Amino acid sequence: MSKPVEKQEWFQVAEAFEASGLTQKEFSAQQGLRLSTLQSWVYRRRRQRPQKAAAVRLLPVEVSAAAKETPVQLEVELASGARLRFPSGADVDYVALLVTALSR
């Protein structure tokens, strides 16, 4: 019967696996571990890591009467007061990245 593995030891093995770039099967064979043991350690390590949720802040939106008469645009007002206008059909992911970068 093998000795019980300390928590710090399995945590380090799971961390080494994640940094290795190998599959769980390849890593366990290379380290002489049972695949199921490695899977259990990796699962436990991932559950113990604190999960950071992205901060999402929703703001009220106003549609002015003038906006209804002009072609559709996307307008973003930053906390600094700066306004960014994007044409209809602008890539929303690009707009989000730009707003995030400018808000720093």
Task: Evaluate whether 44 touches 14 at the Cβ level (below 8 Å).
Answer: yes
Do 70 and 39 fall within a single domain?
A: no
Domains in the chain, number: 2
- Residue 80 in domain: yes
What range defines the domain where residue 21 resides? Answer: 7-48
Do 44 and 71 fall within a single domain?
A: no
* pTM (2 d.p.): 0.43
Residue 35 confidence class, pLDDT cut points 50, 70, 90: very high
Do 11 and 36 fall within a single domain?
A: yes
- Residue 18 in domain: yes
CA proximity to 45, closest of 16, 66, 67, 4: 16
Do 44 and 69 fall within a single domain?
A: no
- Residue 28 in domain: yes
54-80 pLDDT, tens per residue?
Answer: 666 777 777 766 655 666 677 888 878
DSSP string, 64-90: -HHHHHSPPEEEEE-TTS-EEEEETT-
Percent of the chain with pLDDT over 90: 13
How confident is the model at residue 5, as a pLDDT? Answer: 63
Do 16 and 44 fall within a single domain?
A: yes
Residue 1 confidence class, pLDDT cut points 50, 70, 90: very low
